[in-house]
Structure 1
Amino acid sequence: MTAVRTAVWGRAEQQDFRSRVRGCLLGGAIGDALGAGVAGDSLPDIRTAHGQQGLTDLVPVYGRRGAVTDETQMTLFTVDGLIRAQVRRDTGAWHPPTDLHRAYRRWAATQHEWGPDERRTEDGWLAREEWLYTRRDPDRASLLGLADDRMGTLDRPKNPKEKGCGALARSAPFGLLVGWDPQLVFQLAVECAAQTHGHPTGYLAAGAFAVVVHGLGRGDTLDQAVQQSMVQIASRPGHEETTAALKQALGTVRQGLPSAARVESLGEGRTADEALAIGLYCALVAEDVRSGLLLAVNHGGDSDATGSVCGNLLGVLHGETALPPGWLAEVEGRQTILELSDDFAMEMTQGPALHGPANSSPGWLARYPRA
C-alpha cells in the first residue's frame, strides 16, 4: 500500500485519541452484548419478554450478562492485525491486508481449537487470551473465507455473493487510523472485507463505515463524516446499495422522533447495508450513548451487529467517559479490550519510540511479533 503520513501528537491530543479508541472498542462491545440478548427476536417478542419499552438492560446470554459475540472477537483481531502491520514495517514488509488476513486466521483458530497453544509465541498476546476461545454464533462467511490460506482480494474475493454484515461489524478499527488519509482507510477496509465478504455491498459498506469512524476520530460531525464516506464510494462499481443505505439513514432522521418503527424501516441489519443504515441512524438521533444503543437493538433482526456499529460510532464520537458505567462494568473481556485499546493508541502515537529497524522494545515485540 501507499505510504501514509505521520501525525505529530501533543500530550492532550494523545489523551483525546486514547479516549476515542477506548470509546470505540468498548462502545462496540457494549452494543454487541446488549443486542446479543435479543438477536433474531421479533419486536413483538422482545416487548412480550421485556415490557412495552423493549430491552432496557443487559440480559444473560451465553451463560452470563454482558457476553459478547463474534462481532467483538473479530474487531479485536482487526486491532491486533493493524498493530502487527505497523511493527512489521521495520522489516521492509508493508502490506497491511496480509497482516490483517493473518490476524483473522488467528481468530479462526479460536473457533475450533480448545484453547491457546503457548508454544506459538509468534501469535502474540491476544491469541493467548483464553476467554476468546468460544463460539458465539460466528459469521458463516467469515469461517468459510478463512478456512484456508488463500487470501481473498478485490480481484478474487472470497464468497463473492456474500453481503452479510460480518465484515462491516469488524471494520471500525480501520477508521481509527486517523493519521491516514480517508481514501487509504477506505481502501484498506474494503480489501480486508473482501477476504470473507466478496459482494460489493459486503465490502463497500465496511469501507464506508471505516471512513465514518475516521471522520469522527478526526473531530468531524457525524453528518460530515457520512458525506465523506459517500464521496469515497461514489465511483466504485456496485456502490448503489451502500449509497442508498447512507442516504436512507440521513433521510429517516428528518421524518420525526426516533422510534422502533423507523429503525425497522431501514431493514433487519442482516446485510451490510442494512446494519450500516440502522447503526448510523441510531447514532445520529441518539440523545446519549444509552438511548442510542437501546434504539439500535430493539428491532427484529441482527441486533448484535447493529448495536455494535452504533456503539463504535457513539464511542469514538464521545469518548470512553460517555459510556454507561453499569454496562461497562459488566461487558465481557473489558480488561482485554482496554489493554488492546491502549496498545493501539500507543502504537499510533508513539510507535517510533517502541520499535524501529535498529532498536526495539523487547516487551513490545513479544506482544506483537514481527514474524
Structure 2
Amino acid sequence: MTETAERQALESYRSRVRGSLLGGAIGDALGGPVEFWDLPRIRAVCGPDGVRSYQPATVDGVPGHGWITDDTQMTLFTVEGIIRASVRTDRGLGFTVAVLQHAYDRWLDTQQLDGPDGTRDGWLIGQRWLYSRRAPGTTCLQALETARDGHRSISPFGRPAVNGSKGCGGVMRSAPFGLVWPGAGYPLDWTFDAAAEAAGFTHGHVTGRLASGALASLVGALVRGRSLAEAVEDTLGLLERRDGHQETSRAIVRAVEAARHPADAAVVESLGAGWIAEEALAVGLYAALAHPEPGEVLDALALAVTHSGDSDSTGSICGNLLGALHGETALPPELVFEVEGRGTILTLADDLCTEFTVGRELHGDYGPFTRWTTRYPGW
C-alpha cells in the first residue's frame, strides 16, 4: 500500500468510527423521548412521517433537546474498556474481555453517585455530565451490582451473568467492538466473540450474547469496506457456527426479507418492539436496509424510532450501522450539532482510532507509564 493509499484508508477508518458512535448517539437521542409512546401518539405529535427531529424532554430538571440515554452511556464505557484492554495488551499482559466488566462497573458509579468522587482512575469516569440516570435497564444494574458484591467477597470480575435475560441492554452497547482497526490483527471472528462475551457480563441468555456479537460483526464488516448486504452475509455465516444461533439468525433473515417491501412503521412493528436483543437488532438492521444510501440516513433513523417500542435502542443500532457504512459526513447535521455529549463522543472515537493505529508510540511494550496510560490504564 502506498503512503497516500494508507493515509486515505486511515481517514476512511476514522470517519467510520466517528460516524458509528455519533450515529448511535443521535439515533438514541431521537428515540429516547418517544420510547414509551405508542405509534398513534408518535404520529399525532410528530406527524405522519414519524420522528425526524429531537423531541423536547426534561432531564434532571433541565428542559432541552438531544439528550442521550443509557444506551450511549454504556456504549462510551465499552469504547473506553476496549482502549484500556488494548493498552493492557501492549504492556505484555494480553487482551482480556474482563476489562470490559471493570468499565461497566465504572458506568455503575455514574448511576449511583452524584459525580466523580476521585476514587476511580481513567479519564471517562471524570466526565460529570455522565452522572445521570437515563432509565437504565434493570438487568444491567442488577447483574453489575451482583458482580461488584461478588468481587468484594470471593468471585472475580470476568464471570458471566447468572440470569436468563436476553434484553436489549447487551446488544445496544456492542457496536464498538466492530470499530477496532482491521489492520490491528483482530479478525471478524474475534469481534463477534468478544462482543458476545462482554454482553454476557449482564445478559445470560444465549440470544442476548449472540445478537450482541452479530451487531459487532455487522459493524466490523462495514468498517472493513463491505456493503450492508455483504456484512449481513458475513454475520449469518459466523452465527451458523455458534450453538443456539437460531433466534438471532431468524431475526436477521426477517429483517432482510422485510426490507424487500416498501418501508413502513407497520413492518417495523411486525419485527417486534425491540425490548429483547434479537428484536432490537432486527428493527435497527431493517431500517438501515430499507434506507441504505448516504442521503437517506434521516429516513432510516426516523423509521427505526417510529414504533411502539424501545425506540432509543433500535435508533442507536440503526445509527451505529449507517455511521459505520457511510462515515460521519453522511449524518444529519441538524441532529449531530445538538446531540448531548458530542465532544466526549468524538474524543473517544479519535482515541480509539489512535490506540489501535499508533498506540505503541504512546505507551510501548511494558511501560513506562505515560500520560496516555494515565488516561487509559490497562485494567
1:270 Cα offset (Å):
0.6
Closer/same/farther in 2, CA of residues 304 and 333 from structure 1, 3 Å limit: same
- 1:331 alignment counterpart: 339
- 1:259 alignment counterpart: 264
Superposition RMSD in Å: 1.6
Contact 2:91–2:366 (8 Å) recurs in 1: no
- 1:291 alignment counterpart: 299
Query: How far apart, CA to CA, are the structure 1 residues paired with 2:193 and 2:157?
Result: 14
Q: In structure 1, give the amino acid aligned to 2:28.
A: D
- 2:174 alignment counterpart: 171
For residues 292-307 of structure 1, what are the structure 2 equivalents within 5 Å? 292-307=300-315
- 2:42 alignment counterpart: 46
From 224, 238, 242, the counterpart of 1:232: 238
1:359 Cα offset (Å):
5.4
For residues 87-166 of structure 1, what are the structure 2 equivalents within 5 Å? 87-120=87-120, 123-147=121-145, 148=148, 149=151, 150=155, 157-166=160-169
Q: In structure 2, give the amino acid aligned to 1:198.
A: G
- 1:196 alignment counterpart: 202
Query: How far apart, CA to CA, are the structure 1 residues paired with 2:23 and 2:368?
Result: 32
Q: In structure 2, give the amino acid aligned to 1:11.
A: R
Query: How far apart, CA to CA, are the structure 2 residues paired with 1:78 and 1:88?
Result: 15
Q: In structure 1, give the amino acid aligned to 2:226.
A: D
From 19, 25, 32, the counterpart of 2:28: 32
Closer/same/farther in 2, CA of residues 291 and 213 from structure 1, 3 Å limit: same
1:95 Cα offset (Å):
3.9
SS in 1 for 2:64: coil
1:316 Cα offset (Å):
0.6
Query: How far apart, CA to CA, are the structure 1 residues paired with 2:369 and 2:298?
Result: 40
1:151 Cα offset (Å):
6.1
Aligned length: 358
1:159 Cα offset (Å):
4.1
- 2:83 alignment counterpart: 83
- 1:366 alignment counterpart: 374
Closer/same/farther in 2, CA of residues 359 and 237 from structure 1, 3 Å limit: closer
SS in 2 for 1:146: helix
Query: How far apart, CA to CA, are the structure 1 residues paired with 2:254 and 2:322?
Result: 19
SS in 2 for 1:238: coil
1:181 Cα offset (Å):
0.6
TM-score, with structure 2 as normaliser: 0.91
Q: In structure 2, give the amino acid aligned to 1:105.
A: D
Closer/same/farther in 2, CA of residues 198 and 284 from structure 1, 3 Å limit: same
Query: How far apart, CA to CA, are the structure 2 residues paired with 1:65 and 1:223?
Result: 34
Query: How far apart, CA to CA, are the structure 2 residues paired with 1:273 and 1:243?
Result: 9
TM-score, with structure 1 as normaliser: 0.93
Contact 2:304–2:314 (8 Å) recurs in 1: yes
Q: In structure 2, give the amino acid aligned to 1:40.
A: F
Moved more, 352-361 or 180-189: 352-361
Contact 1:157–1:195 (8 Å) recurs in 2: yes
Contact 2:288–2:318 (8 Å) recurs in 1: yes
Q: In structure 1, give the amino acid aligned to 2:53.
A: D
Q: In structure 2, give the amino acid aligned to 1:291.
A: D
Query: How far apart, CA to CA, are the structure 2 residues paired with 1:79 and 1:228?
Result: 23
1:318 aligns with 2:326: yes
Query: How far apart, CA to CA, are the structure 2 residues paired with 1:221 and 1:314?
Result: 11
1:92 Cα offset (Å):
2.6
Contact 2:29–2:69 (8 Å) recurs in 1: yes
Residue identity (%): 50
SS in 2 for 1:26: helix
Q: In structure 1, give the amino acid aligned to 2:254.
A: Q
Consecutive unaligned residues of structure 1, counting only runs of 5 or more, are 1-8
Query: How far apart, CA to CA, are the structure 1 residues paired with 2:245 and 2:90?
Result: 36
Query: How far apart, CA to CA, are the structure 1 residues paired with 2:19 and 2:48?
Result: 30
- 1:64-102 Cα distance to aligned partner (Å, 9 max, x none): 200000000000000000100111123332242111111
1:11 Cα offset (Å):
1.6
Closer/same/farther in 2, CA of residues 243 and 358 from structure 1, 3 Å limit: closer
Query: How far apart, CA to CA, are the structure 2 residues paired with 1:17 and 1:361?
Result: 28
Consecutive unaligned residues of structure 2, counting only runs of 5 or more, are none
Query: How far apart, CA to CA, are the structure 2 residues paired with 1:151 and 1:185?
Result: 24
Query: How far apart, CA to CA, are the structure 2 residues paired with 1:51 and 1:37?
Result: 15
- 1:4 alignment counterpart: none
Query: How far apart, CA to CA, are the structure 1 residues paired with 2:95 and 2:172?
Result: 22
